Amino acid sequence: MPNSIDTKDLIEIVRSGELESLDAQGILTWVIENYGSRMALSCSFGGMTGQVLIDMAYRINRKTRVLVLDTGRLPQETYNLIDRVRDRYDMNVEVLYPEAESLELFVRQHGMNSFYESVEQRKQCCNLRKVEPMNRALAKLDAWVSGLRRDQSETRSDVRKVEIDKAHGGIVKVNPLIDWTQEQIDDYIKEFNVPVNRLHSKGYPSVGCAPCSRAIGPGDHVRAGRWWWENPDDKECGIHVGEQFDGSGI
Ligand code: SF4
């Protein structure tokens, strides 16, 4: 059961910055205990960070809600991982879908693969398949947990562990692993045998939609395989738009 602290008081605690000194488990425990079913963990099932968070959250409270976006273009390995997680943790992963009518119209007008044609087309596709369904889900929550890490994108350098997500109605957004390194993630996965996307072992550090993700080479930036045909400054999908920064993607 959530604690009985008033939502306004919780927001004040976030604003004060006092939570920034907590470690990942401490931050997760805080948000789970205070928000209960009014919070959810958003996981792409295409990055290792989200898988670590699911494992941590499960150890704190087995009923923690987990959301995943099914864009309709995910690789089979990601769908397989969703089922592996459901089995391993006996968990009901909540799958979010795009609004069918708008997506049908978009595809009818622009074709199946218009994301390769321009940044605008790509962002429109991300908007319909990711941003809109996520916004719909977040509108029903008071807090959410994301797997953002500072070392994965230039645009994530100012993100705090806990912040007010103004772009989503002023709810609380928690980034427990924001300051974790890849080495820490690897160690956790090994120690707890956390299930991860099998494409990671094929050179994909970050797995998104199948047509927009590819393996990277030695020395490439960790997100180089995402929307690889675009300028790096444009490589965000729009979900993580908030107070601390203005654009980032799963
Ligand atoms: Fe569309 Fe590619 Fe964005 Fe997926 S990642 S929503 S396929 S543009």
The pLDDT tens digits of the residues spanning 161-218 come to 999 999 999 999 999 999 999 999 999 999 999 999 999 999 999 899 999 999 999 9
Query: Would you place residue 64 in the very low, low, confident or very high pLDDT band (cuts 50, 70, 90)?
Result: very high
Ligand 1 pocket member 125 (CB < 6 A): yes
- Nearest-10 crossing angle of helices 24-35, 48-60: 60
* 150, 143 contact by CB (below 8 A): no
Q: How would you classify the pairing of strands 171-174 and 162-165?
A: antiparallel
Q: Which of 11, 18, 3, 10 is nearest to 161 (CA)?
A: 18
pLDDT for the residue 240 = 65
In this structure, which residue's CA is closest to atom 2 in ligand 1? Answer: 212
In testing the pocket of ligand 1, which one of 237, 239, 240, 248 has its CB within 8 Å of the most ligand atoms? 237
pLDDT for the residue 3 = 64
Cα 178 to ligand 1 centroid, rounded to whole Å:
24
In testing the pocket of ligand 1, which one of 78, 122, 207, 213 has its CB within 8 Å of the most ligand atoms? 122
- Nearest-10 crossing angle of helices 48-60, 76-89: 10
Q: Does 109 have pLDDT greater than 60?
A: yes
Q: Does 223 have pLDDT greater than 70?
A: yes
Give the predicted TM-score (pTM) of the model: 0.90
Catalytic site includes residue 237: yes
Beta strands per DSSP E along the chain: 39-42, 66-69, 93-96, 143-145, 162-165, 171-174
Q: Does 100 have pLDDT greater than 50?
A: yes
Ligand 1 atom at shortest distance from the alpha carbon of 128: 6
User: Over the stretch 226-242, which tens digit does the pLDDT of each residue have?
Assistant: 999 998 776 666 666 54
In this structure, which residue's CA is closest to atom 4 in ligand 1? Answer: 209
Of 6-20, 60-74, 202-216, the poorest mean pLDDT is in 6-20
User: Over the stretch 14-48, which tens digit does the pLDDT of each residue have?
Assistant: 888 889 999 999 999 999 999 999 999 999 999 99
Query: Would you place residue 2 in the very low, low, confident or very high pLDDT band (cuts 50, 70, 90)?
Result: low
Ligand 1 pocket member 115 (CB < 6 A): yes
Ligand 1 pocket member 212 (CB < 6 A): yes
Cβ-in-10-Å burial (0-12, 13-18, 19+) of 184 comes to middle
Query: Would you place residue 4 in the very low, low, confident or very high pLDDT band (cuts 50, 70, 90)?
Result: low
Cα 126 to ligand 1 centroid, rounded to whole Å:
5
pLDDT for the residue 6 = 76
Residues 44, 176, 220: CA angle, nearest 5 degrees: 55
CA–CA distance, 150 with 98 (Å, rounded to integer): 28
Burial 98-127 (b: 16+ CB within 10 A, else e): beeeebeebeeeeeeebbeeeeebbbbbbb
Query: Would you place residue 250 in the very low, low, confident or very high pLDDT band (cuts 50, 70, 90)?
Result: very low
Ligand 1 pocket member 235 (CB < 6 A): no
Ligand 1 pocket member 149 (CB < 6 A): no
CA–CA distance, 92 with 245 (Å, rounded to integer): 31
In this structure, which residue's CA is closest to atom 5 in ligand 1? Answer: 209
